Amino acid sequence: MSGGEDFFVRFWGVRGSIACPGTAWARYGGNTSCLEVRCGGRLLIFDGGTGLRPLGEHLRAQAPVDADLFFTHSHLDHMAGLPFFSALFVPENRFRMWAGHLIPERTLRDVICAMMAPPLFPVPIEVFTAETVYKDFTAGETLSPSAGVKLRTALLNHPNRATGYRIESNGRSICYVTDTEHVPGRLDRNIIDLARGTDYLIYDSTYTDDEFPRFVTWGHSTWQEGIRLATAANVKALAIFHHDPDHEDRFMEQVEVDARKTWRGAFVARENMRLVLA
């Protein structure tokens, strides 16, 4: 890898709630949450939505793969790709999977076992032939998945809890903050502290401010709140993320126009988009 590509993020899924196949969603993408991050020579994956399946195909040529997979939480739109992640069926591969929202009541391994159990799913996690390790932590802890890579984490406001991440390497950083609900008129201190000065804030922008009042307690936020947080935390750029399945391409194009007019640092994340931290 050349120096300029040492740290990048690629979006494999940008949709929230449920995957949306079809031409009306084709330009922004229909797969649910999944990010590939490369930094410090490591592969870090964030969330296992349906975007994890095409990422697995992409990794086929790169075996053996040694990577960490961090879940924001365990709602199905962030987990459903896991049983279809072909890299878990390669014995030479090694994965560490992490979650910060489950202990002390449950563990990540228990939750994946529950998802992959009859009659919901025909085969158990023992079908994974790659070496897999399951790790639980408490949102708020700082993790060091490898030398030179620091992960700060924060608790988000979401039903059944969720974890926000800040990935730091070589003085650059990306924040991944989904799924989370804001309280109108009160910026979330946890998120501001996590995102302060970051290069990219990838933020749960499921709704617009106009739509938001109908979805209070659903656990999501708006692109306008993303801009308020980004400017308060001195963020360099905001990626609008976790698009509502009801928001077809034409709607998202208008979001992009409106968001850019509001703040020049805002843009809408699309499937296959790559952000390079040069």
Footprint of Zn ion (CB under 5 A): 16, 75, 77, 179
Locate the DSSP E strands across 47-199. Answer: 66-71, 94-99, 131-136, 142-146, 149-156, 162-169, 172-177
Q: Minimum Å distance from CB 73 to Zn ion?
A: 6
Q: Which is nearer to Zn ion, 18 or 63 (by Cβ)?
A: 18
Which residues does 272 contact at the CB level (< 8 Å), separation at least 6?
10, 11, 12, 29
Q: Which is nearer to Zn ion, 93 or 205 (by Cβ)?
A: 205
Quick check: 9 and 199 in contact, CB under 8 A? no
Q: Minimum Å distance from CB 201 to Zn ion?
A: 17
Q: Minimum Å distance from CB 23 to Zn ion?
A: 23
Q: Minimum Å distance from CB 33 to Zn ion?
A: 6
Cα dihedral 29, 25, 220, 36, rounded to 10, equals 0
Q: Minimum Å distance from CB 202 to Zn ion?
A: 13
DSSP annotation of 27 reads: T
Q: Minimum Å distance from CB 112 to Zn ion?
A: 16
Q: Which is nearer to Zn ion, 75 or 182 (by Cβ)?
A: 75
Q: Which is nearer to Zn ion, 31 or 169 (by Cβ)?
A: 31
Give me the phi and psi of 199, to 5 degrees please.
-75, -45
Alpha-carbon span 185 to 157, nearest angstrom: 15
Q: Is residue 197 classed exposed, middle or buried when 0-12, 13-18 and 19+ CB atoms within 10 A define those classes?
A: exposed
Closest residue by beta carbon to Zn ion = 75
Q: Minimum Å distance from CB 54 to Zn ion?
A: 18
Q: Which is nearer to Zn ion, 68 or 77 (by Cβ)?
A: 77
Q: Which is nearer to Zn ion, 75 or 247 (by Cβ)?
A: 75
- Strand order of the β-sheet with 94-99 is 131-136, 94-99, 66-71, 42-46, 34-39, 8-13, 274-276
Q: Is residue 86 classed exposed, middle or buried when 0-12, 13-18 and 19+ CB atoms within 10 A define those classes?
A: middle
Q: Which is nearer to Zn ion, 198 or 206 (by Cβ)?
A: 206
